Amino acid sequence: MLAAVVSRVLSGVTQKPASRVLVASCNYSNDAMFAIKKCDLYRLEEGPPVTTVLTREDGLRYYRMMQTVRRMELKADQLYKQKFIRGFCHLCDGQEACSVGLEAGINPTDRVITSYRAHGLCYTRGLSVRSILAELTGRRGGCAKGKGGSMHMYVKNFYGGNGIVGAQGPLGAGIALACKYKGNKEVCLALYGDGAANQGQIAEAHNMAALWKLPCVFICENNLYGMGTPVERASASTDYYKRGNFIPGLRVDGMDVLGVREATKFVADYCRSGKGPIVMELQTYRYHGHSMSDPGISYRTREEVQNVRRESDPIMLLKDRMVDSKLATVEELKDIDVEVRKEVEDAAQFAMTDPEPPLEELAHHIYCNTPAFEVRGANQWIKFKSLS
């Protein structure tokens, strides 16, 4: 009888997986110091530090965020091929250190605006995987109610992806002007690619920002290819951090999340101090093609992509650092991988089953906090009501 009672008691106790028992018994380091690559500088006497401290808590958070962005983008690839996602879709897997490192170096109240390759920044700025994937599939649960799609996602203090190449440059300068006007010591990060760096409006935005000493960080995500064209064939000068001419700049290893974090802190402090704008080039790499319509191997070899994965993958670099310095164990990071996969799978199921927005809501959310009004449809007899 006693054996039966003991058996019933034990059966109600949740057994911990062996890996979690092992993790619980480990002696972790609370933090560790790492060397980071020295930045190339332009019109600057000093740059970001060449060493930094990573705490265990921050390391685990960065690792989870980068894995989430990676898995989310791979799931978007799958949903696109299954025709749940239509239209334009630009993925950022390989560039996770950029979005995570940038967010780690600024305040939540700072402003960010970027190009159409926006999914990673959408997540780091605060959108859930569910709301991002549902927006990609055009469902009501999406962050823009299913009406924005891949290139038009928004959240507080994030002014979206922008479908017009380079448009975020002058828009970012305008946002920075608003920050200066309000006197709130906030900065704006305006991101664009190496292809957009040759746009005239980027140069115009540089000029205006310098004249008015706007707190704007112009960030060129240089992933080596503008669509399918190598930077060497498209740009007379590939030193994008010097493109501001009269604006200081720096070039950063965009595959190292710690390097990006420290550089972002440096440029944000520079702008907050009232010195005006600054240009930052992040040297990074995308694993996918320019968009889902681009296989990505007609202008570069598979061996090139595999070599970057093997030598410079941002998630692998952080993982190796954390394990080698005893900030985490391989088993613990594997547990995070499992949790991330489940989160992304659950989000994908929601994105495939959530209803699409009804036609009656087509004209909603044109303006914020305005009375309802009518919007003409495809002809004068069709009217839609617009609600804020």
Are the C-beta atoms of 72 and 56 separated by less than 8 Å?
A: no
Task: Read off the pLDDT band of 384 (50, 70, 90).
Answer: very high
Q: Which residue has tokens 């995308």?
A: 286
- CA 199 from centroid of its chain's CA atoms: 22
| Cα–Cα distance measured from residue 168 to residue 121, given in angstroms and rounded to the nearest whole number | 14
Q: If you compute the radius of gyration of the chain from its CA atoms, what whole number of angstroms results?
A: 23
- Residue 14 above 70 pLDDT? no
| Beta strands 225-226 and 216-222, pairing class | unpaired
Instruction: Please state the φ and ψ torsions of residue 311, each to the nearest 5 degrees.
Output: -100, -30
DSSP three-state, residue 53: strand
**Domain contains 385:** no
Residue 241, pLDDT score: 98
**Domain contains 245:** yes
Are the C-beta atoms of 56 and 327 separated by less than 8 Å?
A: yes
**Residue 150: is it exposed, middle or buried by C-beta count within 10 angstroms (0-12/13-18/19+)?**
buried
- CA 107 from centroid of its chain's CA atoms: 15
**Domain contains 60:** yes
Number of other residues whose CB lies within 10 A of the CB of residue 103:
24
Q: Indicate which CATH number applies to the domain containing 225.
A: 3.40.50.970
**Domain contains 112:** yes
Helix (H) or strand (E) holding 10: helix 2-11
Nearest-CA neighbor of 150 among 304, 292, 2?
292
State the residue range of the domain holding 320.
Answer: 31-357
Buried b vs exposed e over 208-246: b needs ≥16 C-beta within 10 Å?
bbbeeebbbbbbbbbbbbbeeeebeeebeebebbbbbee
The DSSP result for 219-242, as a single string, is EEEE-SEETTEEHHHH-S---GGG
Mean pLDDT of the chain: 93
DSSP three-state, residue 173: helix
**Domain contains 342:** yes
Name the β-bridge partners of 376: 383
**Domain contains 121:** yes
**Angle value at C-alpha 141, between 136 and 143, nearest 5 degrees:** 65
Nearest-CA neighbor of 120 among 70, 192, 187?
70
- Residue 11 above 60 pLDDT? no
Number of other residues whose CB lies within 10 A of the CB of residue 94:
24
Nearest-CA neighbor of 193 among 161, 150, 153?
161
**Domain contains 12:** no
Q: How many domains does the chain have?
A: 1
Residue 20, pLDDT score: 47
Q: Provide the whole-model pTM.
A: 0.92
| Cα–Cα distance measured from residue 125 to residue 275, given in angstroms and rounded to the nearest whole number | 26
Note the pLDDT tens digit of each residue in 128-167: 999 999 999 999 999 999 999 999 999 999 999 999 999 9
Residue 224, pLDDT score: 98
| Beta strands 249-253 and 383-386, pairing class | unpaired
**Domain contains 7:** no
| Beta strands 373-376 and 383-386, pairing class | antiparallel
- Residue 278 above 50 pLDDT? yes
Residue 12, pLDDT score: 45
